[in-house]
Structure 1
């Protein structure tokens, strides 16, 4: 009876998560190994999480030492790791204030609440938000409310009121939705699940201009595209367009569950007050140690500079592959966040990839998404290309 219950639970999880048919056991560097010892070159990084790869000894040792000291105390008390992590993340992100969460979706929830509270503090009467079609911000109620995929929203409606959707990279469509009720505009500087679409320079600048002129808050979702992945520490920095609020998660903890939303001093001074927002586990000593150590390793090992060096090589090799492979229609992306638009069904390609020992991801529009650990080298790019040539032949 126990075995039947376990089997039933496993079948339910497979149905809910649509898991790939492989059971992973451990990792080393940029490789993962399944329970039978088969090696996989990882170009998924846990959906952009493990930027430093697997079994980074310095990070592992720091986390083990922290576990022996303290993992949780609640946010009623101060601990040194939280202050250090907040200062380091503020400096890296170009923002002023940081609030820690447990995930990217929770960071989005905090960002939305901050924008609403800012409008309330200003007594502006604003509450509506503009989001982008094909965007993805998470699966909690607030996050899915600003996610530009109707199939994700419709089963859970009515959702967060006052959300309108513009077309990504179409500034006129944004302007058409702006009104005296608009309190925030939220976007990803590089859409991930929506099909790997980088924002255009004029689009980012145009949104910033609208927000500045009309006291609307610009929210950048950097959960997937942040932490060095596009060749700058955070993607907005490449545009020179500073948001009022930004969200982050995934790679800031390299696998330890942690997220954060950050804001300018102006927003912080006119929004959340004690009691407006909270989290039991957010900013716990273990998660904050992960953030501190990850940022320390990023700086010491010049991870962002490494991405700037290897990113163009990845793009060039993918362009070569696109040119000679009939089933690839287009390559798009920045740095180590790339996508290939395919004519073959992704599910079919993915099964072949698993056979060849390669881990990849899907994205909207039948896109094969590549989010490798940021520590990959040119030899790993070559290995991936060799495998993809066989898979797509």
Structure 2
């Protein structure tokens, strides 16, 4: 007799007995996926509107990514950084091309967004200055250097004292930037859209002011495109919509389509020269497998027109949400396929729970906001499933009370 496959409750019990509880109890045990759909171990199907937190750019089981990773796994998975590989060189060249970086720019590959931020911090420190400016509401990661730039006190407090010299200014406040950026500032680090902060876009003028002020002060402008980059907002990078060229950019999440990879991009020879041989490194960063995945993601985004699709699908979603005319829905913000639906009450957790029961994976990014970051291959019909279900989900959530 064939042994029965384990089911959700059994696996969650085993999870709690074997994994460090930093994530709490998982909501589901997922087994496989296809496109924007995923199935749990009990066979239930869900529309994935979170995309692994903006990671699964091509959705699940995309043939181009599967083929690229399978081929590379059969050829060469890892080499130390005493050596390089064709995928590493080609992916670096492609990234420099889509960022529009000038001659003399360069890429450092790592394994995650937090590692990319750590590289940016070291880059900033090499200016000889120690002051770093970040924004209130910012999230840049949970390693200790990145955590110093992250604003949320609940994340920071258990691990303080953190790296000194970091100040957080009110988000979007140009006057505060003008007062704070000065001769001791090594870098200003900003997200074009604050993802974990609630999907709150920066005004283009704010980003342009940060570019002007850092240039005048001889400081670096570091744009964190970890969540917003790789086509998610309807352009390769969100800062491009403001016409801003930074001194450094951090990437991760969607770049590998689910295979771990991060990158720090330096713009121009002067910034690139700040980190010399031996001053930074990583064991796994830029391995052939992750770089082959990154190339497949970029190739597929281009060949399938997914940047234009992200822009059009996001606009469709915005229209549909606004057309609901539901007073419990106060708006929708963001760009492309990084969006937050804002609510008139603190119902997002309940809406998310009822959505999961209805086969929708959502993210309560704030108590009154639901984040959507679906795969870039999501269809407008699939987005309509969420919009059509939303009034009923709100009915169920509001009946429960606050």
TM-score under structure 1 length normalisation: 0.93
The question of 1:102 aligning with 2:111 is answered yes
The offset of 1:269, in angstroms, is 4.1
CA distance in 1, matches of 2:205, 2:256: 32
Aligned equivalents of 1:29, 1:9: Cα separation in 2: 27
More displaced, 372-381 or 238-247? 372-381
CA distance in 2, matches of 1:274, 1:231: 36
The count of corresponding residues between Structure 1 and Structure 2 is 382
Structure 1 residues 173-217: Cα deviation after superposition (integer angstroms, max 9, x where no partner): 122222321110001000001011111011011111101111110
SS in 1 for 2:374: coil
Q: 1:29-60: per-residue Cα shift (whole Å, max 9, x none)?
A: 11011111111011000000011111111210
- Using a 3 Å threshold, how does the CA distance of structure 1 residues 35 and 351 change in structure 2: closer, same or farther? same
- What's the offset of the Cα at 1:228? 0.8
Moved over 3 A (4+): 6-9, 11-15, 266-270
**Structure 1 equivalent of residue 393 of structure 2:** 391
Aligned to 1:139: 142
> Aligned pair in 2 of structure 1 residues 19, 242: CA closer, same or farther (>3 Å)?
farther
Alignment match, 1:51: 57
Unaligned runs of 5+ in 1: 121-125
CA contact (8 A) 1:315 1:335 kept: no
Name the structure 2 match of 1:123: none
Secondary structure of 1:130 counterpart? strand
1:336 match: 337
Counterpart-to-counterpart distance in 1, 2:222 and 2:185: 13
Does 2:39 align with 1:33?
yes
SS in 1 for 2:74: helix
Write the distance in 1 (CA, Å) between the matches of 2:328 and 2:18.
Answer: 34
Determine the structure 1 residue equivalent to 2:24.
18
- TM-score by length of structure 2 reads 0.91
Q: Is the 8 A contact 1:97 1:268 kept in 2?
A: no
Question: 1:78 offset after TM fit, Å?
Answer: 1.6
Query: Which residues of structure 2 form unaligned runs of 5+?
Result: 1-9, 396-402
Match of 1:320 in 2: 323
- 1:119-150 Cα deviation digits (max 9, x unpaired): 13xxxxx2100000011000000100001112
Q: State the match for 2:205 in structure 1.
A: 202
On the 8 A contact 2:346/2:367 being kept in 1, the answer is: no
**Distance in 2 between residues matched to 1:12 and 1:153, nearest whole Å:** 26
- Displacement of 1:9 in angstroms is 5.4
1:328-371: per-residue Cα shift (whole Å, max 9, x none)?
23321111111122314332222101110000112135321000
- CA positional deviation for 1:12: 6.8
